Chains A and B, each alone.
Chain A
Amino acid sequence: MDFGKEGEWREKYQWVFDSPLVSDHPPDAQLSPVLLFRRNYENVGTKRKDRNQRFLLEEKARYKTLFDNVEGLSLDGQQRECILKDELKSLVIAGAGSGKTTTIVGKVKYLLARGSCSADELLVLSFTKASADEMAERIKAETGQDIDVMTFHKLGKEVIAEVEGRQPSVTGIQLTDFVQEQFETLMKTPQYSALVIRHLLAYSREYKSAFDFKTKGDHFAYLKGSAIRTLKGEVVKSFEEMLIANHLHVNGIDYNYEAPYEVDTADRRYGQYYPDFYLPETGVYIEHFGVDRDENVPEFFSGADGKSAKVIYNEGISWKRKTHQDNGTILIETYSYEQAEGILLDQLDEKLKQAGVKFSPMGPDKIRRLLQSQSRYEVASANKLMADFIRLMKANGKGIEDVRGVIDQLPAGIQRYRSESFVKLVGPIYEAYQKELEKTREIDFGDMINRAAEYVWEGRFAKSYTYIIVDEYQDISRARYNLIRAIRDKNQSKTFCVGDDWQSIYRFAGSDIDLFLDFEDFFGYTEVSYIETTYRFPKTLIDLSSAFILKNDRQIRKELKGVGGAVKTAYELVYGEDDGELLGQLKVYLGKLPPDSSVLLLGRYRHDLRPYLDGELRHRYDYHRSRHTVDYRPRADLAIEFKTAHGAKGFQADYVFILNNLSGQYGFPSRVPDDQVLELLLQDKESFHYAEERRLFYVALTRAKRFVYLMVNANRKSVFIEEIEGDHGIERDEQAIKCPDCRTGDLVARTGKYGPFYGCSNYPLCTHSQPLK
């Protein structure tokens, strides 16, 4: 008896229970049917649970033979229980390598054997065609029956075909190419061109204020990772300085960045003064002060001589003002809070005009050429972002007006202005795309799901399913949820969703982890079960990966258990100073593997394999099997394959080498998918830092059956590696000396005009230096 039936019963007889006859009289004065009803009503939950517990035990015994042999395996206790629990809504939280697919095959086998439904009343949904095909094959092999196993898109297509009486035509438009073409066409119009120029100059990179960082090192990592440089190629000390520099440049105002002040100010205690900007044509100086409206400074600014950072910094501001006043030089001041409020450049223009600075703005063509040469990456990124944005918008069943509605809710400030600017760029491209689809009477993958859901809600899809089983539920998007919900609600189908929130890695494609974590909020009362025995990897790896993923409190806690004997260790951090050394190490470790082992080389990006290739290690693309294989000549017996961490989902190998453990934009964690405009389409942003990348790293770690090697460039270690080192007390033999100032750079030996010294690897952002000894 499921909870739904209990609820229906309660609801049906609520009126009786609420009547004074039932509630106002003591039990010994009641008529016996009334008394019995009252007791039933008050204890129906317990009665149902007791009954279900008995049912579970009876069914376990009755179907023992069936559960003892599903795909040649005997199901474990948790697998059996989750199959038997026949609630209206079930969520099975399954660990990596816990036999999820076998459990689904077992569920289907049981339902058919028991006669709970016929084969054509069962629908199994999977996310990729490959996994759907595999699932269908395995179910057929086990039950001898053909059931509907399909992807969400195939289901959408079938719904549309049935309702419209014809198969829908799916567009062949490559969205990224379409965006590129449209962008180039639109750029020929002065209005759009002006929007693009403004966006690229002011908003192309996601703005983060120095106030957003806890340490100087984190701020440097952001500046380096986001490639914060000016159009003239200067490395500047903040995002805001980059904006100012570029604004001056495109307005034809010549400037020198951090040139020495025209008066010698050095004394025994302080060095020469270097103002941020000097405009040689007018002799104007610009200082950009990193303060908020209350003259506070970022947390990582340091105090000295018993004074707080705020006092020291503001004393510096006063000194600079006085210096300019004493020497009769003109100083323009700008502030961090102006950028946060979105008024920095407008205010700067006012101040420059008041100081008599002449503007000679570049023409759009010149700026376009400049951007194309200097900001090719930014233009390409913006185009990619627009394609992702449109895809995501459709995956969420939203239109451009919905997005504008979300923006209207944002508080005034830089994020809102940036979002508005972005939507002005993407809006016309989205509209052109929709028009093109209408013209050709085609639909895209997003439409396939959204339109199908509409038809089901409208009651136009006749076929009904008694059971809907969803594999990899952690990757569910709002649109897909809507489709399942429509079918479920129309048919009162039972839903059995299986997944692992620890492996939810497709947020960029629209998957919404809230639909998993808050399942009950979306579906109502849910029976939650766990499958926690992993048959893939040893305990040490379970401990490492579980501790790593559970750093994020929002992930659902589960206690993964392993099988087999104890293994001392199942992972190792392999260090190298550079790519060459790491390539050498990879060969050494490959050379030591047992004969005929399977090996997965995992990257965060496809290009991560490149540094690990040479004459002996060669990449080959196997077109038949769509696989990237790697041949290592001295060990031809090894089956080596390369995959990205995303592509490795669902795969496993004896040995795994995670190749990219770098910091920076294209490192692991990657900083690329974090663009805030995508947040307009996604549900509440996860507050935990790198939550999605952490799950992706977890997926990478858990692909190994025997051992994981983490290839670590000692000079560019990722935060994940630093965390693992810290948590597990791993120390490298030759530890680099950390810079005492920014705390993230390493001290490296350099030679200057006064001889050798230690400088920081974050130079020029960090100017710390110290004697060699």
Chain B
Amino acid sequence: MFYIGIIARAAEALFGSRGGQYRQITQDCLAAMNELEQIVGREPNAALSTWSRWRDRHQSLHSNPLVTSCPTVDKLLMRMVIPSADRATIQLFAKVHADTERIRELVLGCIGANGELEQLLASDD
């Protein structure tokens, strides 16, 4: 444990400023995803144009090199600096933003499947 602590502190020293940037990016991605969550919650069958508007609003975040490089972050020290939950948030945002049309179809699929199952379980048959 002692050595891990030393290594973590060394990583923090080396990538400290980068770590801070990632923490900010994570917050931004989380906010963007929350916004999408609200859109879907309010309007489950939202049209593609609604999704596209969301995409456009977050274009600059998606263009941030820290976001685009995040899915490929594999250096051990970097991994130690950025918590896995943060990395997952950034990666999800990057994925949704990169292929909004397909992700919308998948989300619509999930919504349809959930509704259908609910109906099946409630039916008299």
Q: Chain A interface (Cβ within 8 Å of chain B)?
A: 1-2, 5-6, 9, 12-13, 15-16, 19-22, 25-26, 28-34, 36-37, 40-41, 44, 47-48, 51, 86, 116
Contact call B117/A9, Cβ cutoff below 8 A: yes
Considering the chains assembled together, what is the distance between the CA atoms of A116 and B123 in angstroms? 12
Asked if residues B121 and A34 are in contact (CB atoms below 8 Å), the reply is no
Inside 8 A of B116's CB, which chain A residues have their CB?
A: 9, 12
Once the chains bind, are A9 and B88 in contact (CB under 8 Å)?
A: no
Which of A13, A16, A31, A36 neighbours the largest number of chain B CB atoms within 10 Å of its CB? A31
Bound complex: CA of A40 vs CA of B116, how far in Å? 11
22 contacts between A and B (CB under 8 A): A1-B121, A5-B120, A6-B120, A13-B113, A15-B109, A21-B96, A21-B103, A25-B88, A25-B92, A26-B85, A29-B88, A29-B89, A31-B40, A32-B37, A33-B44, A33-B110, A34-B106, A34-B110, A36-B110, A40-B113, A40-B114, A51-B121
Please list the 8 inter-chain residue pairs (A to B) with the smallest Cβ-Cβ separation, ordered nearest first.
A37-B110, A16-B109, A13-B113, A29-B88, A33-B110, A33-B111, A51-B121, A29-B92
Residue of A13, A20, A32, A36 near B109 (CB, 8 A) is: A13
Indicate if B33 sits at the interface (CB-CB under 8 A).
yes
Contacts A13-B112, A19-B106, A36-B110 given; 14 further ones with Cβ under 8 A? Answer: A5-B125, A9-B113, A9-B116, A12-B116, A13-B110, A22-B106, A25-B91, A30-B92, A31-B36, A31-B40, A34-B110, A37-B110, A37-B113, A40-B114
Contacts of A37 in B (CB 8 A): 109-111, 113-114
- Contact B121–A47 (Cβ < 8 Å): yes
Query: Given A16-B113, A29-B85, are A1 and B37 also a contact pair (CB < 8 Å)?
Result: no
Contacts of A28 in B (CB 8 A): 85, 88
Contact of B41 among A25, A32, A40 (CB under 8 A): A32
**B114→A36 contact, CB < 8 A:** yes
For A40, list chain B residues within 8 Å (CB).
Answer: 113-114, 117
B contact residues around A9 at 8 Å (CB) = 113, 116-117, 120
Kindly list chain A residues whose C-beta atoms are within 8 Å of the C-beta of B121.
1, 47-48, 51
Query: Is B18 positioned at the interface, with any CB of A under 8 Å from its CB?
Result: no
Q: How far apart are B110's CB and chain A's nearest CB, in angstroms?
A: 4
CB distance from B46 to the nearest CB of A (A): 12
Secondary structure class of chain A's binding surface, majority of residues: helix
| Given A1-B125, A13-B113, A29-B88, also A21-B106 (CB < 8 A) | yes
Q: What is the CA–CA distance of A36 and B36 in the complex, to the nearest angstrom?
A: 16
Residues of B within 8 A of A21 (CB): 95-96, 103, 106
Residues of A within 8 A of B117 (CB): 9, 40, 44, 47
* Chain B 71-125 interface residues, beta-carbon cutoff 8 Å to A: 84-85, 88-89, 91-92, 95-96, 103, 106-107, 109-114, 116-117, 120-121, 123, 125
A37 to B89, CA, bound (A): 19
Bound form: Cα–Cα A48–B118 in Å: 10
Cα distance A539–B65 in the bound complex, in angstroms: 81
Task: Give the docked Cα–Cα distance between A19 and B103 (Å).
Answer: 10
Q: How far is the CB of B121 from chain A (nearest CB, A)?
A: 5
Residues of A within 8 Å of B36, CB to CB, are 31
Q: Which residue of B lies closest to A50 (CB)?
A: B121
Whole-angstrom distance between the Cβ of A620 and the nearest chain B Cβ: 55
Once the chains are docked, how many angstroms separate the CA of A41 from the CA of B117? 9
Return chain B residues, CB-CB under 8 Å to A41: 113
Partner of B40, one of A12, A13, A33: A33
Residue count of chain B within 8 Å CB distance of chain A: 29
Chain B contact residues: helix, strand, loop or mixed: helix
Q: Is the CB of A86 within 8 A of B109?
A: no
Q: A33 to B120, Cβ gap below 8 A?
A: no
A116 and B89 alpha carbons, distance in the complex (Å): 49
Report the bound CA distance from A737 to B94 in whole Å.
91
Chain B, Cβ-Cβ closest to A38? B110
Is B106 within 8 A of A26, CB to CB? no
What is the CA–CA distance of A31 and B111 in the complex, to the nearest angstrom?
A: 11
Instruction: Write the nearest CB–CB distance from A466 to chain B, whole angstroms.
Output: 11
Give the Cβ gap from B55 to chain A, nearest Cβ, in Å.
15
- Measured CB to CB, the nearest residue on chain B to A115 is B124
Point out the residue from B92, B95, B96, B114 that lies within 8 Å of A33, measured CB to CB: B114
What CA separation (Å) do A34 and B85 show in the bound complex? 17
Known pairs A9-B113, A32-B37, A36-B114; A20 contacts B107 (CB<8 A):
no
Expressed in whole angstroms, the Cα–Cα distance for A133 and B123 within the complex equals 36
Q: How far is the CA of A40 from the CA of B85 in the complex (A)?
A: 23
Known: A21-B103, A36-B114. A31 touches B33 (CB 8 A): yes
Nearest CB on A from B34, distance (A): 10
Closest B residue to A32 using CB positions? B37
In the complex, the chain A residue whose C-beta lies closest to that of B44 is A33
CB distance from A402 to the nearest CB of B (A): 41
Kindly state the separation between the CA atoms of A41 and B52 in the bound complex, as whole angstroms.
28
Report yes or no: A1 in contact with B123, Cβ–Cβ below 8 A.
yes
In Å, the complex CA distance between A37 and B96 comes to 17
Q: How far is the CB of A639 from chain B (nearest CB, A)?
A: 48
Most chain-A Cβ atoms within 10 A of its Cβ — which of B41, B89, B107, B110?
B110
Contacting residues, chain A, for B84 (C-beta < 8 A):
26
Q: Is A31 a contact partner of B107 (Cβ separation < 8 A)?
A: yes
CA distance A471 to B54 in the complex (A): 62
**How far does the alpha carbon of A32 sit from the alpha carbon of B107 in the complex, in Å?**
9
Chain B residues positioned under 8 Å from A34 (CB to CB): 106-107, 110
Measured CB to CB, the closest approach of chain A to B88, in angstroms, equals 4
- Expressed in whole angstroms, the minimum distance between the Cβ of B70 and any Cβ of chain A is 13
Measured CB to CB, the nearest residue on chain B to A27 is B88
Query: C-beta contact mask, B24-64 vs A, less than 8 Å → 1, else 0?
Result: 00000000010011001100100000000000000000000
Q: Please, how many angstroms separate the alpha-carbon atoms of A702 and B112 in the complex?
A: 54
The complex places the Cα of A15 from the Cα of B41 at a distance, in Å, of 23
Q: CB distance A12 to B89 under 8 Å?
A: no
CB distance from B83 to the nearest CB of A (A): 12
Contact (Cβ within 8 A) A22 B120 = no
Q: How far is the CB of B58 from chain A (nearest CB, A)?
A: 15
